[in-house]
């Protein structure tokens, strides 16, 4: 029968090893749809800012603002998740 401290140390070590293996798998696995979503969002960004530069009146600007909202919706969370996947946490 294991003593309480030995059991806890064994579980902690096993959990740490599982976490390291999961981290190694996750570092290699950057989902390809993320890159496509980012590309699409940045393309929308370029179109919106190009359109705002060429806009001559309010009827053109308002739809561009709606597209800008689409850009933010597509890229904000995905960019943060992508950066989190790329950065290796060193504790």
Kindly report the pTM of this predicted structure. Answer: 0.57
One domain for residues 75 and 90: yes
Task: Give Dmax (Cα) for the chain.
Answer: 81
One domain for residues 18 and 35: no
Q: Taking a C-beta distance cutoff of 8 angstroms, is the pair 28, 65 a contact? A: no
Q: How many domains would you assign to the chain?
A: 2
One domain for residues 3 and 23: yes
One domain for residues 12 and 53: no
> Given pLDDT bands bounded at 50, 70 and 90, which one contains residue 85?
confident
One domain for residues 47 and 79: yes
Domain span including residue 20: 1-29
> Given pLDDT bands bounded at 50, 70 and 90, which one contains residue 63?
very high
Please tell me the predicted confidence (pLDDT) of residue 51. 94
One domain for residues 38 and 57: yes
């Amino acid at each position: 029968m294991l003593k309480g401290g030995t059991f806890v140390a064994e579980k902690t070590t096993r959990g740490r090893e599982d976490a390291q293996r999961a981290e190694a798998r996750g570092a290699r696995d950057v989902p390809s749809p993320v890159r496509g979503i980012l590309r699409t969002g940045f393309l929308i960004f370029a179109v919106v800012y190009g359109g705002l530069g060429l806009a001559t009146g309010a009827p053109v600007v308002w739809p561009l603002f709606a597209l800008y909202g689409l850009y933010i919706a597509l890229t904000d969370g995905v960019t943060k998740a992508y950066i989190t996947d790329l950065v290796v946490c060193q504790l």
